[in-house]
Amino acid sequence: MESIAIAASQLNWNGGQRITLKAGDTATCTVLRPDQLYGIFIYNSAQNDNNAVVNVVWSNSQPPCQITVPGTTANAGLASMGFVSGSDTQTISVSLPSNGGIAQVDLWLGSVSMPTNTSGLNNQPLQANGDPVPFNKYTRYYAVPPSKWMNLTIASTITQFISCQFRQDKATVFVVNETSNGLLKGQITKMGPTASESGAVMISTSQIQSITENLQGDGSQWVWMDADSQQNSQNATIALQSL
């Protein structure tokens, strides 16, 4: 695991909180934990159709990773996601180039422990009662299932609803009602050897309006985060049921 050098002018992002970057801005988090997988959720919020290219630095010995966030009008786009492990680095920096013009992105960190500063997000427990609850944009649910079988159901009447599940050193991207095109090119980026390992970041899809998964609790925390647009999330729900 390594840590990268940071400049004094960079924004403190140690809470993983939802922030807005404009051209020339850099946000840095220096508190990534070993054996934990993190997702960087990035939305293009410039409200125009110009793509934003975000640079992510996670290593002094590797070149910055570029993530393209498609532009849309009316702030209606999907999230691009970058995954990195705290076993590979304790520090990441996310920046928009100074020549980015009118580019602007909203971003936050997701994991079983992040963000610790949930300002700008709807952060609440997911009760294991089987009741569907709204799964809106900027929503984070968490649960600590007991040592027994549980059933997770994510449903959406909108084509290709996208969300992400975290469990310590693993993440699963759920795609409900998948289209024939699937995820956008570059929508998911894996950085570093650990996040790139087989099984670290998985994609689970369904061609119907719901997706279900049986999971077995062990007293550790699970987290679910919306990674879709505002309009795609309006009718989406998530439910956790004890079996």
In tens, the pLDDT along 6-59 reads: 444 578 999 999 999 988 999 999 999 999 999 999 998 877 677 888 999 999
Q: In the chain, what percentage of residues exceed pLDDT 70? A: 93
Residue 5 has pLDDT above 50, yes or no: no
Q: Which amino acid is at 159?
A: T
The tens digit of pLDDT for each residue in 166-210 reads 999 999 999 999 888 888 888 999 999 999 999 999 999 999 999
Q: In the chain, what percentage of residues exceed pLDDT 90? A: 68
Q: How confident is the prediction for the chain on average, in pLDDT?
A: 90
Q: What's the per-residue H, E or C state across the chain? A: CECCCCCCCCEECCCCCCEEEECCCEEEECCCCCCCEEEEEEEECCCCCCCEEEEEECCCCCCCEEEEECCCHHHCCCCEEEEEECCCECCEEEECCCCCCCCEEEEEEECCCCCCCCCCCEEEECCCECCCEECCCCEEEEECCCCCEEEEEEECCCCCEEEEEEECCEEEEEEECCCCCCCCCCCEEEECCCCCCCCCEEEEECCCCEEEEEEECCCCCEEEEECCCCCCCCCCEEEEEEC
Q: Which amino acid is at 52?
A: A
Cα Rg of the chain (Å, integer)? 17
Contact 196, 59 (CB under 8 A): no
**Quick one: pLDDT at residue 88?**
96
Highest mean pLDDT (candidates 7-11, 66-70, 72-76, 160-164): 160-164
- Among 131-135, 208-212, 214-218, which is the least confidently predicted range? 214-218
* Band of pLDDT at residue 99, cut at 50, 70 and 90: confident
**Quick one: pLDDT at residue 184?**
81
CA 232 to each of CA 18, 126, 136, 177: distance values in angstroms, whole numbers, following the listed order: 20, 21, 9, 12
Residue 100 has pLDDT above 80, yes or no: no
* Band of pLDDT at residue 92, cut at 50, 70 and 90: very high
Tokens at 8, concatenated = 């004094």
Measured between alpha carbons, how far is 20 from 40 in angstroms, rounded to an integer? 13
Mean pLDDT of 78-89: 94
